[in-house]
Amino acid sequence: MQVIHSVSELRARLAQEKSMAFVPTMGNLHAGHVALVQQARRQGTCVVVSIFVNPLQFGPNEDFDQYPRTLEADCAKLQGLADVVFAPSVAEMYPEQQSFYIELPPIAAELCGTHRPGHFRGMATVVLKLLNLVQPQVALFGKKDYQQLAIIRQMVTQFNLPVAIVGGETVRAEDGLALSSRNQYLTQAERTEAPQLHLTLQTVVEAIVGGVVDFTVLENEAEAALAKRGWRVEYVSIRSQHGLGKPPVGEGRLVVLAAARLGVTRLIDNLEVCL
Ligand code: PAF
């Protein structure tokens, strides 16, 4: 496994590769990332993982400075799984101030976009840069960031990027909490409460499967149930899996998404439902 920090070295190393599977990450790797990299490995190609905490996708009051940077431990986890780790500095990724951005469709201003203005613009911009640098045939993203994955899929389709986007299933702790680097911000008491987000989503899924069709009522009830337990809820929303719009009557492929804060920690999760 080669760890590369510069764009020129990366391009030189990958020039010989015909077929690459790419997993972009912000590091602080957990079992969810590892599962994605294993999924990439099964594509039978050269596996490239990027580790880059992208300043463009953090708002001014968000956790960019605090975000855990654990390159050595990350590389240890990737030994034997990845062929190339690309870990650039901010100056290497943005040698001049980034003044071109991806302009995003309206769906990016909903759900997490409402609460993290500019986040998806910065995310899509760095993903486009990374795809241009690595030029993989396949790129893998976790379904935990469902809206991110949907935006990337649309970007790749609409800009005709020659890469197949693959979603990886969310990996959960035994109590159901979706793995996330941000879980480590939780206090012990918050960590005990945190699986409630997943449980709430499960309750919504059960109601949908059970035939409830008034989604607004389900969303409101779920938000109220979390708020009552002390969560600061941003949203619980039932959407179409494809495109994440409000589902038309009779839509069979749904996803229930939620974002809520416990103390200072913002958690997101989602569950797909197929009727
Ligand atoms: O999901 C993430 O870790 C990041 O948003 C990504 C896709 C690596 C872009 O910085």
Residue closest via CA to ligand 1's atom 6 equals 25
Question: Domain count of the chain?
Answer: 2
- pTM given for the model: 0.97
Inside any domain, residue 34:
yes
Over range 65-72, report the average pLDDT: 97
Residue 174 lies in a domain: no
Residue 205 and residue 133 share a domain: no
Half-sphere exposure of 222 (CA within 13 A, CB side): 30
| Residue 256 near ligand 1, beta carbon < 6 Å | no
State if residue 127 touches ligand 1 by the CB under 6 angstroms criterion: yes
Q: What is the pLDDT of residues 95-115, one digit of tens each?
A: 999 999 999 999 999 999 999
Mean pLDDT of 28-40: 98
Give the model confidence (pLDDT) of 175-191 as tens digits: 999 999 999 999 999 99
Quick check: helix, strand or coil at residue 11?
Answer: helix
What pLDDT is recorded for position 101?
Answer: 97
Q: What is the spatial distance between Cα 243 and Cα 237, in angstroms, rounded to a whole number?
A: 14
Q: How far is the CA of 33 from the centre of ligand 1 (A)?
A: 11
- Ligand 1 centroid to residue 183 C-alpha, Å: 16
Torsion of CA 48, 4, 156, 33, to 10 degrees: 50
Domain residues for the domain of 253 are 181-268
Sheet arrangement for strand 164-168: 2-4, 84-86, 46-51, 20-25, 138-142, 164-168
pLDDT score of 263 more than 80: yes
User: Which whole number is the average pLDDT over 113-135?
Assistant: 98
- Are 117 and 38 members of one domain? yes
If asked whether residues 27 and 140 sit together in one domain, one would say yes
Confidence of residue 168 (pLDDT cuts 50, 70, 90): very high
- Is residue 33 part of the annotated active site? The answer reads yes
Domain boundary among 168, 191, 208: 168
Report whether residue 133 contacts ligand 1, using a CB cutoff of 6 Å: no
Both 114 and 162 in one domain: the answer is yes
Marked catalytic residue, from 5, 30, 33, 115: 33
- Distance, CA 141 to ligand 1 centroid (Å)? 8
